Amino acid sequence: MISNTALRYAKALFDLSLEKGQVESVYRDVILIRDTAEASAELKVFLKSPVIQNRDKEEVLATIFKERVNPLTFQLLQLLSEKSREPLLVEIMKGFIQYYLEHTGVIEVQVESATPLDEPVVEELRKVLERRTGKSVNMQITEEPELMGGLTVRIGDTVIDGSVRYSLERLGSKLKEHTLVP
């Protein structure tokens, strides 16, 4: 879940980068920052800690990112330090990615499968999903043996459930419906 505050920062960064025609380069920065922060638990704790001075946080962020990112992205980092919003950094990055994907017509789809999927199956699935949603699809496939068979596809809040587990659940409740309660 992304908080409203983070979404506001993300929107500002996205709109500005769009205006300046630097969306692609900022997007690369955002991915970099997100991955760095996600990968390093220390950095996360550092950013969240209220004990550490804003000035120290600013310096550390500058050392890590200054040379590697677009000036626009770096300005955001400085703004965050100034406003003491560093804890929101990862959320803001996620918010930006959300806006970027929306803008480019890409949707994120989570696929859960009971068994590993072959490449042709994945491609077939992608084609079906792209036809159905009319957008290009960015798939994250995870394996979930609990499904017992079949797969589930989650697009935003909507789930397309073709798993054996769900079928069995429905079958169970259907049988119960017709059973007399003693």
Partner 1 sequence: MSNIKPEEVSAILRKQLSGFDSSAETYDVGTVLEVGDGIARVYGLSKIQAGELVELPESIGDTGEPLLGMVLNLEEDNVGIVLFGPSRSVKEGHTVKRTSRIASIPVGDGLVGRVIDPLGRPLDGKGSVSGETMELPLERKAPGVIYRQPVDEPLQTGIKPIDSLIPIGRGQRELIIGDRQTGKTAVALDTIINQRETRDSDKPVFCIYVAVGQKGSTVASIAETLKEHGALDYTVIVSAPASTTAPMRYIAPFAGAAIGEYFRDTGRHALVIYDDLSKQAVAYRELSLLLKRPPGREAYPGDVFYLHSRLLERAAKVIDNDEVARSMNNIPEVLKPKVKGGGSLTALPVIETQAGDVSAYIPTNVISITDGQIFLDTDLFNSGIRPAIDVGISVSRVGGSAQVKSMKKLSGTLKLDLAQYRELEAFAKFGSDLDAATQRQLKRGERTVELMKQGEYEPLPVQEQIALLKVNSEGLFDKMPVSKIGEFEQDFLESLRARYSKELDNLGRTGVLEDEFGEKLLSSARTIIDQLTSAQETEES
Q: Which is nearer to partner 1, 28 or 154 (CB)?
A: 154
φ and ψ of 112, to 5 deg: -115, 130
Task: Tell me the C-alpha distance between 8 and 25, whole Å.
Answer: 20
Q: Is residue 2 classed exposed, middle or buried when 0-12, 13-18 and 19+ CB atoms within 10 A define those classes? A: middle
CB of 143 to partner 1, least distance (A): 18
| CB nearer to partner 1: pick between 1 and 51 | 1
Residues binding partner 1 (CB under 8 A): 1, 3-4, 150, 154, 156-162, 166-167, 169-171, 173-178, 180-182
Q: Which is nearer to partner 1, 5 or 25 (CB)?
A: 5
Shortest distance, position 3 Cβ to partner 1, whole Å: 8
Is 129:137 a contact under the CB 8 Å cutoff?
Answer: yes
AA identity, residue 40: S
CB of 108 vs partner 1, minimal distance in Å = 14
**Closest approach of Cβ 179 to partner 1, in Å?**
9
- Could you tell me how many residues make up the chain? 182
Task: Please give the Cα distance from 117 to 124 (Å, whole number).
Answer: 11
Q: For partner 1, which is the closer residue by CB, 31 or 122?
A: 122
